[in-house]
Amino acid sequence: MEEMPKNYDPQTAEPELIERWMSAGCYQRSKGVGDCTVVIPPPNVTGILHMGHAMDDSIQDTYVRYSRMRGRSTRWILGTDHAGIATQTKVDKKLKSEGVSRLEIGREKFLDACWDWTREYGGTIVSQIKRMGCSIDFSDEKFTMSPEFSRAVRKVFCDWYHDGLIYRGKRIVNWCPSCCTAISDDEAEYQDEKGHLWYLRYPLVEPVDGIEYVTVATTRPETMLGDTGVAVSPQDPEKAKLVGKMVHLPIVDREIPIFSDWHVDAGFGTGFVKVTPAHDPNDYAMGQAHDLEQINIFDEHAVVVEGYGEFSGMNRDQCREAVVAWFEEHGLLEKVEELDHSVMHCYRCGTSLEPWLSEQWFVAVDKLKERATQVVRDGEVKFHPERWTQTYLTWMDNLKDWCISRQLWWGHRIPVFYCEDCGWEDALMEDTDVCPKCGGRHVHQDEDVLDTWFSSQLWTFATQGWPDDTSELAEHHPTKVLVTARDIIALWVARMIMSSLYFTDEVPFHDVYIYATILAKDGSRMSKSKGNGVDPMELMEKYGADAMRYNLLTLITNNQDVKFDANIDKKTHQLIDSPRTEQARGFVTKIWNASRFVQMNLEGYEPGAPAAVTPEDAWMLSRLARAVAHATEQLETYAFGDYAREIQSFFWGDVCDWYIELCKSRLLDGAPEERLQVQRNLVFVLDTCMRLLHPVMPFVTESVWDALPASGLDDHSAEFLMVAAWPEPERFAEFVNERAEKDFELAKRVISCVRSTRARYRLSPRAELDVCVRCGAEDAAVLAGQEGFVRSVGHVGAFVAAADAQKPEGCVSVADGSLEIFVRVGDLVDLAAESARLAKELAKAEKDLAGVERTLANEGFVAKAAPEVIEKKRAQAAELTATIEQLKAQIEDFA
């Protein structure tokens, strides 16, 4: 058996293992009992790995590896999304840098350029996912623009079109003047901006009771060019006499009516609201209800169209400035107030969106959402954590028809064809240039493409061969769990459920796991513009994939947002360090070193069953059985954070710090039979631990397992740990021994207190200390039976445990729950000098605390100091308070 290298190098081991796993076909679809099929949320084809992806993929791989080891049929489906707006924007920029525009080269050549871009840059994120160690089937990659997937998208559109679920209509949409396309409500990003509220006078055509004008308050005076009404609240009796009257919009010489509508908040501004039906969703609704004219004053670039005199040709900002100046010049500007408000922006380019009346394609969701709501209410689809269920249900209750058309070239072109000769229109599965109604050849296809989310909603079934009746679809649908972010519950999760129920009569997945949002160290959102994003590739290069993956899982708690501990260079935006990931790498090193120690001491080893020869053996095997049961339950219930944290605590604490240490004397100096049995126990424990750790830390565990001989767990015949059997809780139930655990834990507590006393007073680890324990009669009897163990492991001299034990002279006392432990240090420590030293430290700490408290009690300081300064002072006070309590406790030891 070749000795393990002294140091473990993830930069060498990890890539080598990936190649070995893939060459052996370990990532491909496996057969088994029960199904675990997972689809990766398709990243943008031109994207790169970010921390959200890293968290998502780490969770998925942990669950897939665990399920594979349990012998389930596993299929993890890889794929990328064509990302309509994102890709088109990138290709547009590339062409501009070459002095060309897409309008010059035309649609077909532009699409060729998009495909070229996709082929050149589309594999980046896939290779990065591979570097993470994700055991996904890279040989069966899907793409939302592939011929097979495009066929499925087209069928969905055509079926819904013919079933009356897709229609075309003129509605208000969120329009991006830069990307020149509609954006859904869910894709719009709100940003707080400093703005103004302008109060503008609209003269009445005929004065009423001496009232010559009404004053409207608006944040968007530029849209006044398209006003076709003024609204008041029905709950505003003072304005009732003006309802039905007409006002004159002087800037465009238009007479418009005053009416009442429930959309109006009587307390906002003056209570008079200008109504622009073509440029505001609420105004559109009021316009529909009151039959107002809809006037689009902007073109697709948010530039004022012809017919508005001096304002025509102006962009929104220019028009706003000019309109305000016109009203001021004509004595109709009453006042201006500052106002902070939230403005929608394009999630891709950051341009402020324009509510714009345009003709678009929509999905009528009323016929889809009822059943999609019910499967969640009934628990057929479950959200984890459970609180996200209400988020889903609330969104479904308020769901509006979905705008699915985008004014782009890159994407699935809407398969609707029109005849210019006879007016025929239909959605077709195959292209045509001949009208089937009149035979005319003046036929053209709709210019728009489908929203990217329209194609990705089919992800669980179109990736498995639908609409054909495939074996993959029969065996792997519905999928098991979808792991995704909370911000696409509406954009993606809900739409997947609706479409899957409609086309397959099945839910797309049984569980939805919503992972934590990864924030920067200061709690802000990670972003390129802020330069605070952490690059997972840099983390892996510095610490290894195991460390990154493990750290990410330990961050998962019931709290949704987590701060990632990393320091980033403000100039280069490169990673400096990540202390928590460094700690995770320390755990990788601990796994390697502990395993290497055991492996180096296996001379003469022969496989055999573990046995509880000593109290520590019985304790260890029982604790191991509980670790197996806990890890299994946690992974079954998606408690990934608890799994990661507890398995580290068990391995580092119970296995390394206690059991391996306690085994050393038998391993190094024991009789041959004694040595062989402890070898078998250690190999069995390590083998089991590597299996438990493998899903989250696949590389180091595979490397260790490969170096270990066969254990009593199985014949070690599997070629790789990743395809070896999971340690089933039933198999380990025989090892559970509550009595052994309780007795051993009692002795551990005594030994730990002795060790902490040594550390506190800087005593030699080898110096024997007398110990007396005051405890209950039952505990005293147990400890009496553990005397040899306590004395040997704890380097204890005289040892007494009794219910009536009294504190001997020269002892310090340590309380530990039901135990009061007296440790004699009088011969080794000058108690008087130590007491005097501690008293001086106590006096200084109390003086320092008094000063800090005076500062915090100063109202002037608290009012003027920066919040971070105050917080630092409070933290200092808390630290000093804890120090004082500790010093007092130590001084009492000498009483």
Residue 268's pLDDT band (cuts 50, 70, 90)? confident
With a pLDDT cut of 90, the percent of the chain lying above it is: 66
pLDDT exceeds cutoff 70 at 34: yes
For residues 314 and 81, what is the distance between their CA atoms, to the nearest angstrom? 37
Residue 530: both structure tokens together: 């802020």
pLDDT at 498: 98
**CATH, residue 807:** 3.30.2320
Tell which wins on pLDDT, 810 or 528: 810
pLDDT at 830: 72
- Lowest pLDDT segment from 12-16, 530-534, 681-685, 698-702: 530-534
pLDDT in tens, 602-616: 999 999 999 999 999
**Which of helix, strand or coil describes residue 730?**
helix
699 located within any domain: yes
pLDDT at 894: 62
pLDDT at 179: 79
pLDDT at 186: 62
Helix H or strand E segment including 278: none
493 located within any domain: no
197 & 318 share domain: yes
Q: What does the pLDDT average to over 281-299?
A: 91
- Number of domains observed in the structure of the chain: 4
Residue 715's pLDDT band (cuts 50, 70, 90)? low
204 & 334 share domain: yes
- Lowest pLDDT segment from 63-67, 260-264, 862-866: 862-866
745 & 734 share domain: no
pLDDT at 893: 64
**CATH, residue 326:** 3.90.740.10
**CATH, residue 872:** 1.10.287
Nearest to residue 407, comparing CAs of 345, 443, 358, 458?
A: 358
pLDDT in tens, 151-208: 999 999 999 999 999 999 988 888 888 878 887 766 677 777 888 889 999 999 999 8
588 located within any domain: yes
CA distances 105 to 145, 213, 407, Å, are: 22, 54, 17
634 & 715 share domain: yes
For residues 30 and 73, what is the distance between their CA atoms, to the nearest angstrom? 5
- Torsion angles phi and psi, residue 364, rounded to 5: -80, 110
Q: What does the pLDDT average to over 532-539?
A: 93
724 & 775 share domain: no
Residue 614: both structure tokens together: 């000593």
pLDDT in tens, 362-395: 999 999 999 999 999 999 999 999 999 999 999 9
pLDDT exceeds cutoff 70 at 349: yes
No. of H helices and E strands in the chain? Answer: 29, 31
Sequence-distant (6+) residues with CB within 8 A of 19 are none
**CATH, residue 676:** 1.10.730.10
- Lowest pLDDT segment from 173-182, 733-742, 839-848: 173-182
pLDDT at 124: 92
Tell which wins on pLDDT, 739 or 340: 739
864 annotated binding-site participant: no
For residues 187 and 516, what is the distance between their CA atoms, to the nearest angstrom? 20
pLDDT exceeds cutoff 70 at 511: yes
C-alpha radius of gyration, the chain, whole number: 36
862 & 813 share domain: no
Q: What does the pLDDT average to over 881-888?
A: 81
Residue 794's pLDDT band (cuts 50, 70, 90)? confident
Sequence-distant (6+) residues with CB within 8 A of 674 are 613, 666
226 located within any domain: yes
- Note down the domain range covering 757: 741-829
For residues 319 and 297, what is the distance between their CA atoms, to the nearest angstrom? 11
pLDDT exceeds cutoff 80 at 739: yes
For residues 451 and 361, what is the distance between their CA atoms, to the nearest angstrom? 10
Nearest to residue 635, comparing CAs of 579, 556, 712?
A: 556
623 located within any domain: yes
875 located within any domain: yes
For residues 610 and 605, what is the distance between their CA atoms, to the nearest angstrom? 13
| Domain's final residue, options 740, 767, 798 | 740
638 & 765 share domain: no
- Lowest pLDDT segment from 388-392, 676-680, 714-718, 835-839: 714-718
369 located within any domain: no
865 located within any domain: yes
| Domain's final residue, options 740, 768, 800 | 740
736 & 616 share domain: yes
215 & 332 share domain: yes
pLDDT exceeds cutoff 90 at 53: yes
pTM of the model: 0.84
pLDDT exceeds cutoff 80 at 867: no
Sequence-distant (6+) residues with CB within 8 A of 125 are 43, 44, 45, 47, 48, 49, 53, 80
pLDDT in tens, 446-491: 999 999 999 999 999 999 999 999 999 999 999 999 999 998 998 8
698 & 784 share domain: no
Look up tokens 């309509």; give the residue: 84
pLDDT at 716: 65
Residue 717's pLDDT band (cuts 50, 70, 90)? confident
- Lowest pLDDT segment from 15-24, 111-120, 646-655, 862-871: 862-871
In this structure, are residues 439 and 180 in contact, taking their beta carbons and an 8 Å threshold?
Answer: no
Most confident of 326-330, 781-785, 886-890: 326-330
| Domain's final residue, options 708, 740, 772 | 740
Q: What does the pLDDT average to over 138-146?
A: 95
Residue 529's pLDDT band (cuts 50, 70, 90)? low
594 & 671 share domain: yes
Residue type for position 864: K
pLDDT in tens, 561-593: 889 999 998 888 899 999 999 999 999 999 999
For residues 467 and 155, what is the distance between their CA atoms, to the nearest angstrom? 8
> For all residues of the chain together, what is the average pLDDT?
91
The answer for 803, left when phi > 0, alpha when psi is -120 to 50, beta otherwise, is alpha
Nearest to residue 320, comparing CAs of 424, 442, 196, 228?
A: 196
Q: What does the pLDDT average to over 313-329?
A: 94
pLDDT exceeds cutoff 80 at 721: yes
844 & 801 share domain: no
Residue 667: both structure tokens together: 């391993």
Look up tokens 């902490």; give the residue: 756
